[in-house]
Amino acid sequence: MTRGQRLSAWLLLAALAAPLALAGEIPRDQRRSGADFMAPETRAMQADDTANPAMLWVLEGDALWREPAGAAGQSCADCHGDTAESMRGVAARHPAFDEASGRPIDLQGRINQCRAERQSAEPFPPEDDRLLALTAYVARQSLGLPADPPDDPRLVPFQENGRHLFERRIGQLNLSCADCHDDHWGGRLGGAPIPQAHPTGYPLYRLEWQTLGSLQRRLRNCMTGVRAETPSFGAPDFVDLELYLMRRAEGLPLEAPGVRP
């Protein structure tokens, strides 16, 4: 190739790649955890296991992991053994493609799937403390690992739907997630700093909730804030949105279970 040919090939590539980038998408080197926007006391609370209230759920998750359940009378540990090994990195690559349903499944969904299908036990209802505890316990095994969404072509259409949901304006206030989290992060909404909306700390302890909550619960808060309808817990749209958020957060270290104001 001559220099000119190389240049035009490059320009063509750039032109092809361009539509993939969002107008306001956050460049990789500017991605920051929600924790960066918190007051120093709240950051300290998250960083110190003895002060982080979410660690109570991790302890409970550890106990549940070993407890036989359901008709099969088997515990998670019976099949998965030591979490530090078997569950390391699992949270960093969820949502992942689920063969059974032919669509993405998030970590909570995966845990409930094992509970229903492999333990033959009643699945936990949304926001159930035991489900949150197991999810926090499993997610904790990925502490510090970079968010690593799977490069699975079967996920692409769902991720694109997630992006669409992130960018479309909704609710009586007619705002999109991107309006705040891509275009105005770092600004203040009525005194509260707007974070970049990364999913890497979930499930987490929110001081406002006074309990542990899932990412979906957080997303519902934002939807309610703009006076929009919220999908029900576990709805496919939620999982697609989670998938897109994980792609946006690619490379950021996992910090679950986090603390937020």
Partner 1 sequence: MLAAMLILPTLPAFGQESARRGVVPYEVEGDGIVRPLTGAPGDPNRGAALAADRQKSLCVLCHPGPFPDQHLHGTLAPDLAGVGKRLTEAQIRLRVVDNKRLNPETIMPAFHRVTDDPTVAAAWRGRPILGAGEVEDIVAWLSTLKE
Residues labelled catalytic: 222
Residue 129: count of CB within 10 angstroms of its CB: 15
Position 208 contacts partner 1 (CB under 8 A): no
Position 39 contacts partner 1 (CB under 8 A): no
Position 162 contacts ligand HEC (CB under 6 A): no
**Of 9-28, which residues contact ligand HEC (CB under 6 A)?**
none
Q: Which is nearer to partner 1, 2 or 172 (CB)?
A: 172
Are the CB atoms for 54 and 61 separated by under 8 Å? Answer: no
Gap between the Cα atoms of 73 and 67, Å rounded: 9
Name the residue whose CB lies closest to ligand HEC. 34
Please give the C-alpha separations between residue 227 and each of 142, 175, 224, in angstroms, as whole numbers.
Answer: 34, 10, 5
> Buried b / exposed e across 48-67, counting CB within 10 Å, b at 16+?
eeeebbbbebbebbbebbee
**Of 169-198, which residues contact partner 1 (CB under 8 A)?**
170-175, 179, 183-184, 187-191
Gap between the Cα atoms of 139 and 257, Å rounded: 7
Q: Which two tokens stand for residue 188?
A: 């203040």
Selected range binding partner 1 among 79-87, 125-133, 164-172, 207-215, rule: CB under 8 A? 164-172
Position 80 contacts ligand HEC (CB under 6 A): yes
Residue 146, classified by CB atoms within 10 Å of its CB into exposed (0-12), middle (13-18) or buried (19+), is middle
**Of 229-258, which residues contact partner 1 (CB under 8 A)?**
229-230
Selected range binding partner 1 among 40-48, 50-58, 200-208, 223-231, rule: CB under 8 A? 223-231
Q: Among 6, 28, 154, 227, which residue interacts with partner 1 (rule: CB under 8 A)?
A: 227
Residue 7: name its binding partner from ligand HEC, partner 1, none (Cβ under 5 to 8 Å by kind).
none
Position 22 contacts partner 1 (CB under 8 A): no
Q: Reduce the DSSP state of residue 105 to 3 states and report it.
A: strand
Position 116 contacts partner 1 (CB under 8 A): no
Residue 145: name its binding partner from partner 1, ligand HEC, none (Cβ under 5 to 8 Å by kind).
none
Position 175 contacts ligand HEC (CB under 6 A): yes
Are the CB atoms for 58 and 84 separated by under 8 Å? Answer: no
Gap between the Cα atoms of 109 and 112, Å rounded: 5
Find the helix or strand (DSSP H, E) in which 260 lies: strand 259-260
Count residues contacting partner 1 (CB under 8 A)? 20
Interface residue list for ligand HEC (CB under 6 A):
34, 74, 76, 78-80, 90, 96, 110-111, 114-115, 118-119, 134, 138, 166, 175, 177, 179-181, 189, 192, 194-195, 197-199, 201, 218-219, 222-223, 226, 241, 260-261
